[in-house]
C-alpha cells in the first residue's frame, strides 16, 4: 500500500542532510571549542580538560557519522547485504549515552541492507519514546528473508510521540515535514521498501515497536 502523501526527492534529500547535520553539529562544535581552549589557555588543568573534550567529542562525531552512513546512506552497492554485527557496533556507538542502555539480541548474519537500515532507524525511533532515558532492548528473530524485529524501550515518562504513527505510515499530520519529523517518515519509507510492516504500542513502563514481513501481522 502506497502512502497518499508524496515528498519530493530533493526535499527528502535536503531534510535528511539537515537531520545528519543536527546529529553531528554538537560534537563538532565541542571539538572546535576544545581547540580554542588549547590555543588560548596556559593552565595545564584546562589543557587537560580540553584534550578530554576533544577526544570524547571526536569519538561521538565519528560514531554518529558511521551510524548515519548505514542508517541513511547507501552503505554499499545496490542489493548489498550488511552484517548484523556491524549494525550492532554502529548502534552501540550511536546510542552510547549514560541516559540510555542498549541490549542487542541478534544472530550474526548478513541481511539485506534495507532491513538493516530499518532496524537502525527503529532504534532511533525507540529512543524518542523515552525522553528522560532508560533502556532499549532490540531483538532480531528469523533469518534474512523472514526477519522480525522487536524493540522495547522502557523508562520514566515513556510515551509515543505525537504524530509518530502517522509519520511511520507516510501521512504526516498537516501534510508537511521538517528536519525533526523526517527521520520517522524516512523509517516508514525504508520499511515499505523492505516489504515490512511496523507497529507501535504502549506497554507498561514503555513502548514496544514490532516490524515483520508485510504478509504477517507486525
Residue range 146-201, pLDDT digits in tens: 999 999 999 999 999 999 999 999 999 888 899 889 999 999 999 999 999 999 99
Report if residue 73 sits inside a domain: no
Number of domains in the chain: 1
pTM of the prediction?
Answer: 0.90
Report if residue 93 sits inside a domain: yes
Report if residue 158 sits inside a domain: yes
Report if residue 54 sits inside a domain: no
**pLDDT-based confidence at residue 1 (cuts at 50, 70, 90):** very low
Q: What percent of the chain has pLDDT over 70?
A: 94
Report if residue 118 sits inside a domain: yes
- Residue 168: which domain range? 9-18+80-213
Q: In angstroms, rounded to a whole number, what is the distance separating the alpha carbons of residues 96 and 102?
A: 8
Residue 150: strand pairing partners: 139, 210
Per-residue pLDDT, 176: 87
CATH, residue 180: 3.30.565.10
Report if residue 58 sits inside a domain: no
Report if residue 137 sits inside a domain: yes
Per-residue pLDDT, 111: 94
Report if residue 195 sits inside a domain: yes
What count of other Cβ atoms lies within 10 Å of the Cβ of residue 173?
Answer: 10
Query: By the 8 A CB rule, do 63 and 109 touch?
Result: no
Rg of the Cα trace of the chain?
A: 19
Output helix, strand, coil percentages for the chain, rounded to the nearest 5.
Answer: 50, 20, 30
Per-residue pLDDT, 216: 52
Amino acid at each position: 500500500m502506497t502512502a497518499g502523501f508524496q515528498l519530493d526527492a530533493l526535499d527528502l534529500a535536503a531534510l535528511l542532510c539537515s537531520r545528519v547535520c543536527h546529529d553531528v553539529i554538537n560534537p563538532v562544535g565541542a571539538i572546535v571549542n576544545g581547540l580554542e581552549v588549547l590555543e588560548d589557555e596556559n593552565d595545564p588543568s584546562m589543557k587537560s580538560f580540553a584534550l578530554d573534550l576533544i577526544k570524547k567529542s571526536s569519538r561521538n562525531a565519528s560514531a554518529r557519522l558511521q551510524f548515519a552512513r548505514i542508517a541513511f546512506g547507501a552503505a554499499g552497492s545496490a542489493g548489498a547485504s550488511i552484517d548484523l554485527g556491524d549494525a550492532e557496533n554502529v548502534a552501540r556507538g550511536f546510542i552510547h549515552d549514560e541516559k540510555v542502555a542498549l541490549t542487542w539480541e541478534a544472530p550474526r548474519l548478513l541481511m539485506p541492507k534495507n532491513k538493516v537500515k530499518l532496524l537502525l532507524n527503529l532504534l532511533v525511533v525507540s529512543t524518542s519514546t523515552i525522553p528522560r532515558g532508560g533502556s532499549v532492548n532490540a531483538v532480531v528473530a528469523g533469518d534474512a528473508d523472514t526477519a522480525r524485529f522487536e524493540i522495547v524501550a522502557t523508562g520514566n515518562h515513556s510515551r509515543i510521540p505525537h504524530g509518530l504513527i502517522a509519520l511511520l505510515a507516510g501521512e504526516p499530520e498537516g501534510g508537511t515535514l521538517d528536519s525533526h519529523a523526517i527521520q520517522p517518515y524516512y523509517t516508514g519509507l525504508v520499511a515499505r521498501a523492505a516489504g515490512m510492516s511496523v507497529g507501535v504500542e504502549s506497554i507498561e513502563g514503555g513502548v514496544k515497536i514490532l516490524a515483520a514481513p508485510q504478509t504477517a501481522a507486525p
